[in-house]
Amino acid sequence: MKKYYGILLTLLIVMATLLPAQTLHQEALDYLKTLHKPQSIKPFKAIFHFPAMNQDTTNSCWSFSTLSFVESEAHRLGLKPVKLAVMFPVYFAFIEKARRFVRTKGESRFGPGDLFTGVTDIIQKYGMVPQSVYRGQVRNSETYNHIELESRLKQLMNEVKTLRLWDEDLVVAKVRQILDEELGPPPLHFMYEGHSYTPRSFRDTFVALPWKDYLMVTSFLYAPAYQFTELKVPDNWAHQKKYFNVPLTVFYNSLKQAVRTGFSVAFDSDIVEPGRMGKQDVTFVPPFDIPSSHIDAYARELRFENGSTSDDHLMHIIGFHRFEGDDWFLVKDSWRTAWQGAQKGYYFFHGDYIKLKVLAYLVHKDGIPQITEHLP
């Protein structure tokens, strides 16, 4: 039965893709009218966060979103809120990717994408600095543009692999040179509010989070439930097996409970869908994809396996509210489409989309007791 159910779902998806784009858009808009869409962010009573930043022409959503989560967590734990430098993790993540690229003789993925650990691991190893100290940009512009940076780094790594330059110190030095020219070198020492800091001492003062108390949660059938597994996406370039796999109902209900009790959540999601509408500030699942009542673990797995659900974008959930029977999440987003509508820098995510399209999330363990009771 499951086999035929999967085949039927695949056929429905194929048929949907054959419909004219305008028809799909109108059908999605018509369905949206039945969902009791939020009209503003006010009912959500948003968890503390700094205003959204536009990542513009970069692939660094993972830094924008996860740092926003870190900022909210620092405030929740009673630390003084500081807007953190979004390009600091980007700089050092490229360094770490270059090291692994050389050590694996060019087998490891080297690219601009990353996941939550691209921030949390970098902070623990290198420290952190405030945004006011390090903009991470030498261009005289308010917006970010990494086209040239990514092109130069890609060209360098192609040369390294072609010429088999497996000299880690040499390659890292060349990567640093490009990063310094494009982003500017991160400060070794700096002044902040009248005191001198290094990135590590600043971290220990303003970003002293209990790093071991955070959990990355996922929900897929390819791995056993209640065990740590690898999130099988290209941006998991280090193949980290730090994602705790749980059943879909536990995955969703725990996320919802965490946000309702004051814990914000960073999350990794597919966003290339007809139900993501910037001008309407919403993200939802239209029924021509799958009816709400049919969203389950098998529908989720099918879309992941056939590629219609992919690792596109990381964002930050900062609120939850139930509108006339519909679950809605307030999402802080750095992608440029988040500025197309009335809620600049925010989206309203319907609960169905979270169930079907969110690959994983990061949250403090205290916010998800239904999951942590199963930890080894």
Q: State the pLDDT at residue 1.
A: 46
Chain-centre distance for alpha carbon 253 = 19
User: CA-to-CA distance for 347 and 167, rounded, in angstroms?
Assistant: 45
User: CA-to-CA distance for 85 and 106, rounded, in angstroms?
Assistant: 30
Is the CB of residue 329 less than 8 Å from the CB of residue 347?
Answer: no
- Picking from 13, 21, 53, the residue whose alpha carbon sits closest to that of residue 338 is 53
CA dihedral 251, 256, 257, 258 (to 10 degrees): 90
Q: State the pLDDT at residue 214.
A: 98
User: CA-to-CA distance for 300 and 358, rounded, in angstroms?
Assistant: 9
- pTM for the full predicted model: 0.93
User: CA-to-CA distance for 208 and 206, rounded, in angstroms?
Assistant: 6
Spell out, as residue ranges, where the chain has pLDDT lower than 50.
1-5
Q: State the pLDDT at residue 6.
A: 53
Instruction: For strands 326-332 and 313-323, give the pairing.
Output: antiparallel
Q: State the pLDDT at residue 20.
A: 62
User: CA-to-CA distance for 180 and 122, rounded, in angstroms?
Assistant: 18
CATH number of 2-47+210-372: 3.90.70.10
DSSP lists the bridge partners of residue 182 as: none
Number of Cβ within 10 Å of residue 202's Cβ equals: 22
Provide CB contacts within 8 A for 195, sequence distance 6+.
none
Q: State the pLDDT at residue 332.
A: 98
Q: State the pLDDT at residue 141.
A: 87
Is the CB of residue 89 less than 8 Å from the CB of residue 83?
Answer: no
Q: State the pLDDT at residue 362.
A: 98
Q: What is the 3-state secondary structure (H, E, C) of the chain?
A: CHHHHHHHHHHHHHHHHHCCHHHHHHHHHHHHCCCCCCCCCHHHCCCCCCCCCCCCECCCHHHHHHHHHHHHHHHHCCCCCCCECCHHHHHHHHHHHHHHHHHCCCCCCCCCCCCCHHHHHHHHHHCCCECCCCCCCCCCCCCCECHHHHHHHHHHHHHHHHHCCCCHHHHHHHHHHHHHHHCCCCCCCEEECCEEECHHHHHHHHCCCCHHHEEEEECCCCCCCCEEECCCCCCCCCCCCCEEECCHHHHHHHHHHHHHCCCCEEEEECCCCCCEECCCCEECCCCCCCCHHHCCHHHHHHHHHCCCCCCCEEEEEEEEEEECCEEEEEEECCCHHHHCCCCCCEEEEEHHHHHHHEEEEEEEHHHCHHHHCCCC
DSSP lists the bridge partners of residue 244 as: 217, 228
Q: State the pLDDT at residue 23.
A: 84
Encoded tokens for 163: 């010429």
Task: State phi, psi for 245 to the nearest 5 degrees.
Answer: -90, 125
Segment 90-122, tens digit of pLDDT: 999 999 999 999 999 999 999 999 999 999 999
Sign of CA dihedral 354, 360, 364, 369: positive
Residue ranges matching CATH 3.90.70.10 in the chain? 2-47+210-372, 78-206
Is the CB of residue 201 less than 8 Å from the CB of residue 195?
Answer: no
Domain 78-206 in CATH 3.90.1310.10: no
